[in-house]
Amino acid sequence: MVHEADPGATAITLVPLDVPKSPICQPDYPMSTAVTLPPGCTYGPSLRLTPRGVVSRQLSTPSAACDGEDVRIIYVDFPLGSSENPFFFSRRRKLGIMLVALFYAMITAYETSSYSIGAPSMQRDLHATDLQAASGVSLYGWGFAIGPLMLAPLTEEFGRYWIYMGSILSYTLVHLTHGLGKNIATVLVGRFLLGLTGCIGATVVAGTVSDIYPPNKRGPPMGFFTLSVVLGPGLGAATMCWAEANPHLEWRWISWIQMIALAAYLPIAFLVLRETRASVLLRRKAKKLRIERGMLDGGRYTARSEVDKEEFWAAMRRSLSRPILFLMMEPIVTFFAIWAALVWGVFFVQIAGLPYVFKSIHGFGTTAAGSTYWAIVVGSMIGYLLNFIQDHLYKKNVGRIGVEARLYAACAAGIVFAIGCVIFGLTSIPSVHWIAPCIGIAIILAAAYTIYQTCFIYLSECYGTHASSAVAGMSCLRILLGSSFAMFTTKLFDTLTPRWGLLMIGCIALVLAPIPFIALLKGPWIRERSPYSKILMAEERERIEAEGLSQGTGDLESRMEIMEGEALLEGDRVLESNVHEPKHPAGRPTPEGS
């Protein structure tokens, strides 16, 4: 059967042809002379409907053929400019979703240092050692590292909205392990569970930004997301130091206060947030149309993402295994992961070690030591503002050198990061004014922000449709190794003193500083010898150019700044499945959920 349509008409006339049928399973299509499809729906090819869903692959054996039947597909898409499409949500709804989502990203980061500033009173009450208390910081980070590896299939199966709701509710309840815990083991288990449930704030939130903003408008909201993630740890200790200093509050009330705030936030999130993942919305719409209209319109209503949809557990296994493969096999991923892990390690050293430095060296009290965390906030803001310079350099040079134009700021940031560590270390002595190490902290965070953002965007550019696996591998090592630094911060400072311990870290950072320079100069040569990057970049470039033409730009300057959460959460298809994707009339692969 084929369809003929007058471009000016709303009805589609079906003209039956002699369609060869399976000799074993012969579908019988109901016919109509004139069918008006719902807005956004179009006829597609005949595919195979099996117990596991719609598949485009040819079944090889007669017995396998009987497991399903051939059906004409009616693709379900959003009508042009429809408010059902998350890209075309109203400005008011987008603003509400952004504010609610960014708050969650901020408070999950806030939890990192708010715990750290309350560690002294917790150690006293639970008779915990320094290592046990510091382990709480690391365990929280480990939960953040492991959780995202499982999120891609979860968000594909259940959508973002219910992942949000489940995460916020469970994250709120796990605070009971702190408020009511009678021993350090309960608190440490709670810290890992907090990281596991709260990782949504650092991953799904970024995916939400990519859902509701088209590529050429995604830069500023992604910048705000990154800022909220980096600002959170500074704000946590800077504000909760007042609770720790109050003998009627201390560490338990630090947890209770956050739990109360989350309990008030939960109904707001329930009312304001909406499902934003396009593929999930279209699958729900297709399911509703199948119930309402069945096969009356001459085909089965199907979302494009339902074709060859991977089984849940297979997607889970792939999501867990492929990032490790990229981390071990791809030199670009490996070296950027090591570099990012050191940067994140210094970040956790600051979170766990600032009270030690300013209390033992400068004699600060709890509130004064907590106030030094404002240096993290200041450094993050500086890094955010400097990012606009990198964007300008990228737009100016991308046509000449390609994706390596993302690395100019990172080259400078690697050196500045090492300098900041040296300043922080050398000035952490009683004879130097306390403002000097605070300046070093601000320099470190300004550089760390730039490195943090560059790693994700550059790997996303290099690995295209498999960016999720590359960035997940890098992020896993970054958080697992980096957050482990918190466990030996006190031992490091006791043994070497903050001065020489931080100076040593600065020297290591200086050794790793050439990584972005090597990538800038030799990036194309490295990718030519990569098992994956060369193929994936070619595919990604074709896709972006097609998007640019559809937006009227025709170049790469509107390339989306894919951050960690989006890269972790967007479904990355296996290379060999691309040849089976349904095609648009123009011959391009159909984007999932478009």
Q: How far apart are CA 580 and CA 181, in angstroms?
A: 54
DSSP state, 583?
B
Per-residue model confidence (pLDDT) at position 164: 93
For residue 349, give Cα distances in angstroms to 436, 482, 498, 555: 18, 9, 10, 42
Per-residue model confidence (pLDDT) at position 177: 94
3-state helix, strand, coil in the chain (%, to 5): 70, 5, 25
Tokens describing residue 204: 């799904």
- Amino acid identity of 40? G
- Mean pLDDT for each 10-residue chunk of the chain (594 residues)? 40 40 41 70 87 68 60 90 90 94 93 91 93 91 85 80 94 94 94 92 81 77 83 90 92 95 96 91 92 89 86 78 81 86 86 85 89 90 87 83 85 92 90 92 90 80 68 83 86 87 88 87 78 60 48 36 39 38 40 34
- Amino acid identity of 206? A
Does this model's pTM top 0.85? My answer is no
For residue 453, give Cα distances in angstroms to 96, 126, 222, 407: 25, 39, 10, 10
Element (H, E) at 474: helix 467-484
- Amino acid identity of 359? K
Neighbours of 183 (CB within 10 A): 10
Q: How far apart are CA 325 and CA 84, in angstroms?
A: 38
Per-residue model confidence (pLDDT) at position 32: 44
Q: How far apart are CA 252 and CA 197, in angstroms?
A: 20
User: Hey, which residues does 75 pair with through a beta bridge?
Assistant: 42, 302
CB 97 within 8 A of CB 276: yes
For residue 530, give Cα distances in angstroms to 49, 332, 381, 535: 38, 9, 36, 9
- Amino acid identity of 433? H
Tokens describing residue 484: 């482990």
